[in-house]
Amino acid sequence: MPQLRIALAQVNTCVGDLDGNADTVVTWTRKAAEAGAHVALFPEMALTGYPVEDLALRLSFSDAARRTLESLAERLVTAGCADVAVFVGYLDRDDAGPRNAAAVLYQGAVVARQFKHFLPNYGVFDEYRIFKPGNELDVVRLHGLDIGMVICEDIWQDGGPIAALGAAGVDLVLVPNASPYERNKDDQRLPLVAGRAREAGAPLAYVNWVGGQDELVFDGDSMVVDATGNVLARAPQFVEHLLVLDLDLPAGDGHKSGEVLGFDVRRVTLSDRPLPAWPPMPAPPIAPPLPELEEVWSALVTGLRDYTRKNGFASAVLALSGGIDSALVAALAVDALGPDAVYAVSMPSDYSSEHSRTDAAQLAQRTGLHYSVQPIADMVRVFVEQLGLTGLAEENVQARCRGVALMALSNSAGHLVLATGNKSELAVGYSTIYGDAVGGFAPIKDVSKTMVWALARWRNVAAAERGEVPPIPENSITKPPSAELRPGQLDTDTLPDYLLLDDVLDDYVEGDRGYADLLAAGFDPALVERVLRMVDAAEYKRRQYPPGTKISLKAFGRDRRLPITNAWRERSVIPS
Amino acid sequence: MPQLRIALAQVNTCVGDLDGNADTVVTWTRKAAEAGAHVALFPEMALTGYPVEDLALRLSFSDAARRTLESLAERLVTAGCADVAVFVGYLDRDDAGPRNAAAVLYQGAVVARQFKHFLPNYGVFDEYRIFKPGNELDVVRLHGLDIGMVICEDIWQDGGPIAALGAAGVDLVLVPNASPYERNKDDQRLPLVAGRAREAGAPLAYVNWVGGQDELVFDGDSMVVDATGNVLARAPQFVEHLLVLDLDLPAGDGHKSGEVLGFDVRRVTLSDRPLPAWPPMPAPPIAPPLPELEEVWSALVTGLRDYTRKNGFASAVLALSGGIDSALVAALAVDALGPDAVYAVSMPSDYSSEHSRTDAAQLAQRTGLHYSVQPIADMVRVFVEQLGLTGLAEENVQARCRGVALMALSNSAGHLVLATGNKSELAVGYSTIYGDAVGGFAPIKDVSKTMVWALARWRNVAAAERGEVPPIPENSITKPPSAELRPGQLDTDTLPDYLLLDDVLDDYVEGDRGYADLLAAGFDPALVERVLRMVDAAEYKRRQYPPGTKISLKAFGRDRRLPITNAWRERSVIPS
């Protein structure tokens, strides 16, 4: 028979919106209460949004966050949720500095609060910069059951607070998270969560944020495992969801407090008496993780939708070239915002092929987005003639006239401009700064060219399977890629075949492998030399590129911080 | 009588250029040897350049840095410097991870090496991300004198390795630094260095990097103080310099090794016997710190020159509007690169005033830079007519046509494009993204508008004092600022008076003060509200702005990391 009903609130809150986020906590706690839950668990820093970055350092913000938490405790009583123990992440601050904190709200008061122990300071994370680590573990006794909590990174590092909770003795561990999506990360989460549950000797409930915040997207994937690591429930990815389940928790004994394995374990008793028995609810479904391409697609849609919505845009505009990149971005935008909120412009030049226009028009027809044509020949001509441009300067002026036109349309109508470059281009600098690189957001910035094709094919198949028109014209997928900035130009004039290029980039950018390693991996030395030179030389362009959704282990941006002024070149001859 | 002659090599090395930097160490050690020095001290990570950012994490780079250090030890012998003990910063790596390290090279070998203890992870620094801290202190006995070393941040934090060296007993402390320039930082350095010398109970030699690296510039300001904190020698700022002096070092006794105050003190004896007496050399001059405006000017010139040179550009191009910002950038560029390497373009539109052209032309004449005129009316007209633009969209198209033209000139001739925006504009978003914001480098990005005027006046006075023509036309300094994107437009149509604006910005951006604090400081609530909204809303523009030299405590960029998607607004009513 169950002893406790818990609800994991996989919600989408917004950075900085303290009032709105508090409303979200009230709304979802009420849902939890209506479902009969005794505990509601919210993500890491649900009240402030995540990551708040240097806002954590601003006193006015941390003060407001603390006050919002306290008023939230009272609001929950008014909302009829006094008897639900609400575990919620927030920003705290004490004499030591700002804290990544989680609190327990119960019957109108903040009854427990503790701080994150391990502060991630790698990849996209800068938490050592903005937080001080905590050493306390507050274990709350509710209905005779001892509930401990740790925060996100605390379960990713060995020798941490979970071991201390296990040694101290707890009946249940709750873990609020803000764990950004990366391809294949969900494959790591379940074994990790299962292992920590075994380490704690107790069931573990893991709740993760869902939604987009600048370059990060959170996939949810909240789950509950039992003390042996078996999955009891798992929430679907990329949607807000309340995961409610009954837990059968045999109360342990011999519970320690005080110093345990270097942590300060504190006990707070809310209620000692076990609940009367009730008939267990049916177990909630265990949502399987999405297949890879569908998962990536969902991440990209979520990231684009939330950037648009949370920054107050009602519509987006993009340049539609007939090529695969802009076709994919258009399809993503239609899925994220609806066709009526997407404006696509074909801007043919003298070098644009006939199929550029027809493919673009066909995509517009298939998806129902707003479509217009603005030839750039007259604009380009003035620049070329007045300034006497040739070669690269002439090529770039075409891309830049498109950029100016797109921005003008954005200024006139208030659209968010979408840049359509992919990760492979961004890596080697195969784009025109202030040209095709203009935009407020770059939805496929972290998607390699080979994955662009794979996603396009997947999206078309998915449409066909649902009996819908595939959004992307087949010709956009199959034709050889070209920037069409001079007659007969092909990407392969400048770049290696994308399959090969992406392979090298994967090793150099994500793998951070050096020249010798790349040769050992079997790549041709001249190819390696050429690709690496292009990547290194394009750093300055990447710095001015718009933000876009991270889907890989290492996206350009905060994940990979390299100097622009950098004379280091990977090479064969290294001083011996 | 002196016991030791030391040489502080205040040099300019380049990030990633291991071979070139090793050459620099050899060259300057030879100079030190020729000056009779027994010790040569180089800055923090002199061999790799600083900051290397995520290059520290790349195995091929740290391996190469280690190998370069070892080959450098041998090269110094060949160069006739075997008997100079060379203290040099480099990148190391061991099982724990990458290390910010300093080594002692002597008679062809690496005889000591230790790692930085305190890793700065605030402001522009991310050292906790890329390094592991060290706990060892290598004290080298040379000619019977015990020489300890610590690295940069190690002297900025209390309770650190200096106290341990003091307790263990040393005769001299050497400190390699890479301490970026900030206004007034030199006022802090001397008292800090003096205090640490007293703490160590020994003279302290502080050597700092000079030169520019992306947004950072290093001013040198190397110095030596005696055990009571009195300055013995101080190098001039912003120039490479070898500071050589004799030190009178009474050898102490009772020297400890092993664990001292939590550090692991290791002793390495190179030579026990004191040197025979020699007649002391004349004391080197004590260079006074530069007056404030000259110091800022030197920082901006150094930052611009090194960005240009180290990134392989021979020339720069900028748009000259006749206004004060572009006039100041032109004067800086001429000082940094010489007039023959600077190309200025006046790009008048229909709304440009007559004085715009004459002031720009006059600056060209005064400085001798290359000057041309490219009216943008024809370019703008095509966009405005074809796209039917009005209002803000029409204003922005003018700025963007200038941006396209400037980039075309850069593409044609290989110039580095300079953006001319100042910090006040960047703060409130008073610039056109992809318009006046285009550029590879933004020399006055961290200079407030009020300081722009002050620098212009200072530069003209300095010219007059040297009997030269003041570079900046008086009218550019005195006329009311205008973007000239519509008839009769003035900055004050949109912005508060710059004196007031800069005052608010100083408190909000550098001070990170909240709404209540700003009101308490006496600012008008409506003004505060308006300015803060503008600053918050412009975050997206700042992300795509070019890099530029940091001169303030908190420059936009790595110093101030805020989300773009951010619903937090400083306001009067905060949840109670």
3-state class (DSSP) for residue A485: coil
List, as ranges, residues 213-252 from A with C-beta within 8 Å of B: 213-214
3-state class (DSSP) for residue B323: coil
CA–chain centroid gap for B174, Å, is: 22
pLDDT above 90 coverage of chain A, percent: 91
Considering CB atoms only, which of A15, A311, A407 is closest to B434? A407
pLDDT above 70 coverage of chain B, percent: 98
The shortest C-alpha distance from A458 to chain B (Å) reads 30
Chain B residues with CB under 8 Å of A571 CB are: none
Q: Residue B108: is it exposed, middle or buried by C-beta count within 10 angstroms (0-12/13-18/19+)? A: middle
Residue range A161-185: average pLDDT? 95
Are the beta carbons of A281 and A288 closer than 8 angstroms?
A: no
Residue range B367-371: average pLDDT? 98
Structural tokens at position B374 = 């490219």
Q: At residue A574, does pLDDT exceed 70?
A: no
Structural tokens at position A542 = 């990447």
Considering CB atoms only, which of B55, B382, B576 is closest to A71? B576
CA distance linking residue A409 with residue A431, whole number of Å: 21
Q: What is the mean pLDDT of chain B?
A: 95
Chain A residues with CB under 8 Å of B409 CB are: 387
Confidence of residue A28 (pLDDT cuts 50, 70, 90): very high
CA distance linking residue A357 with residue A359, whole number of Å: 6
H or E stretch covering B505 = helix B498-505
Contacts of A192 (CB under 8 A, 6+ apart): A155, A156
Structural tokens at position B81 = 């410097």
Looking at A81, A127, A132, A152, which residue is catalytic?
A152
Are the beta carbons of A130 and A54 closer than 8 angstroms?
A: yes
Model confidence pLDDT, tens digit, residues A44-90: 999 999 999 999 999 999 999 999 999 999 999 999 999 999 999 99
- The residue written with tokens 């190998």 in the block is B67
H or E stretch covering A99 = strand A97-106
Q: Is A389 on the interface with B (CB under 8 A)?
A: yes
Are the beta carbons of B453 and B324 closer than 8 angstroms?
A: yes
Model confidence pLDDT, tens digit, residues A244-258: 999 998 767 657 899
Q: Is A16 within 8 Å of B568 when comparing Cβ atoms?
A: yes
- The better pLDDT of the pair B250, B112 is held by B112
Task: Report the half-sphere exposure of A36 (CA within 13 A, side-chain side).
Answer: 12
Structural tokens at position A196 = 């920590």
Looking at residue A166, its pLDDT comes to 94
Q: At residue B572, does pLDDT exceed 80?
A: no
Q: Residue B457: is it exposed, middle or buried by C-beta count within 10 angstroms (0-12/13-18/19+)? A: middle
Model confidence pLDDT, tens digit, residues A213-225: 999 999 999 999 9
Looking at residue A350, its pLDDT comes to 86
Q: Is A405 within 8 Å of B382 when comparing Cβ atoms?
A: no
Looking at residue A576, its pLDDT comes to 41
Confidence of residue A187 (pLDDT cuts 50, 70, 90): confident
**For helices B18-34 and B59-78, angle between their N-to-C axes, nearest 10 degrees:** 30
Model confidence pLDDT, tens digit, residues A315-367: 999 999 999 999 999 999 999 999 999 999 999 998 888 888 899 999 999 99
Structural tokens at position A500 = 């090969």
Q: Is B544 on the interface with A (CB under 8 A)?
A: yes
- The residue written with tokens 């600048």 in the block is A214
Q: Is A387 within 8 Å of B409 when comparing Cβ atoms?
A: yes
Closest by CA position to A398, among listed A351, A359, A353, A358: A351
pLDDT above 70 coverage of chain A, percent: 98
Task: Report the half-sphere exposure of B153 (CA within 13 A, side-chain side).
Answer: 18
Q: What is the mean pLDDT of chain A?
A: 95
CA distance linking residue B216 with residue B16, whole number of Å: 16
Q: Which residues of B are catalytic?
A: 44, 116, 152
Are the beta carbons of A54 and A61 closer than 8 angstroms?
A: no
Model confidence pLDDT, tens digit, residues A265-296: 999 999 999 999 999 999 999 999 999 999 99
H runs (alpha helix) in B311-390: 324-337, 354-367, 377-387
CA distance linking residue B337 with residue A574, whole number of Å: 33
Q: For residue A566, which phi and psi values (nearest 5 degrees)?
A: -155, 105
Q: At residue B573, does pLDDT exceed 80?
A: no
Q: Is A570 on the interface with B (CB under 8 A)?
A: yes
Q: Which residues pair with B246 in a beta bridge?
A: B5
Structural tokens at position B298 = 């030197």
For the ranges A543-552, B100-109, B150-159, the lowest mean pLDDT is seen at B150-159
Q: At residue A495, does pLDDT exceed 60?
A: yes
Looking at residue A185, its pLDDT comes to 83
Are the beta carbons of B212 and B302 closer than 8 angstroms?
A: yes
For the ranges A438-442, A531-535, B184-188, B237-241, the lowest mean pLDDT is seen at B184-188
CA distance linking residue A291 with residue A563, whole number of Å: 37
Chain A residues with CB under 8 Å of B18 CB are: 568, 575
List, as ranges, residues 277-316 from A with C-beta within 8 Å of B: 306-307, 310-311
- The pTM is what? 0.96
**Cα distances (Å, whole numbers) of residue B271 to A382, B107, B146, B253:** 75, 12, 10, 16
Looking at residue B229, its pLDDT comes to 96
Residue range A110-127: average pLDDT? 97
Residue range B511-521: average pLDDT? 94
Are the beta carbons of A469 and A325 closer than 8 angstroms?
A: no
Q: At residue B463, does pLDDT exceed 60?
A: yes
Residue B204 has a CB neighbour count (10 Å cut-off) of 29
**Cα distances (Å, whole numbers) of residue A94 to A44, A47, A136, A273:** 18, 18, 14, 34
Q: For residue A160, which phi and psi values (nearest 5 degrees)?
A: -110, -160
Looking at residue B431, its pLDDT comes to 95
Contacts of A190 (CB under 8 A, 6+ apart): A223, A225, A231
The residue among B118, B121, B406, B411 with the most chain A CBs within 10 A of its CB, best to mutate, is: B411
CA distance linking residue B549 with residue A565, whole number of Å: 13
Looking at residue B317, its pLDDT comes to 98
**Cα distances (Å, whole numbers) of residue A419 to A28, A270, A402, B126, B564:** 36, 53, 11, 29, 17
Indicate whether this complex's ipTM tops 0.90: yes
Looking at residue A254, its pLDDT comes to 59
* DSSP state, residue A228: T
Residue A44 known to be catalytic: yes
Confidence of residue B575 (pLDDT cuts 50, 70, 90): very low
Model confidence pLDDT, tens digit, residues B66-123: 999 999 999 999 999 999 999 999 999 999 999 999 999 999 999 999 999 999 999 9
Looking at residue A356, its pLDDT comes to 83
Q: Is B58 within 8 Å of A514 when comparing Cβ atoms?
A: yes
Q: At residue A15, does pLDDT exceed 60?
A: yes
* DSSP state, residue B254: -
Model confidence pLDDT, tens digit, residues B260-305: 999 999 999 999 999 999 999 999 999 999 999 999 999 999 999 9
Looking at A116, A132, A423, A541, which residue is catalytic?
A116
Structural tokens at position A260 = 């345990």
The residue among A26, A410, A411 with the most chain B CBs within 10 A of its CB, best to mutate, is: A411
The strand pair at A223-225 and A204-208 is best described as antiparallel
- The better pLDDT of the pair A355, A464 is held by A464
Q: Is B571 on the interface with A (CB under 8 A)?
A: no
Q: At residue A423, does pLDDT exceed 50?
A: yes
Q: At residue B574, does pLDDT exceed 60?
A: no
Q: Which residues pair with B371 in a beta bridge?
A: B344
List, as ranges, residues 505-524 from A with C-beta within 8 Å of B: 512-517
CA distance linking residue A246 with residue A38, whole number of Å: 10
Are the beta carbons of B443 and B303 closer than 8 angstroms?
A: yes
Model confidence pLDDT, tens digit, residues B52-68: 999 999 999 999 999 99
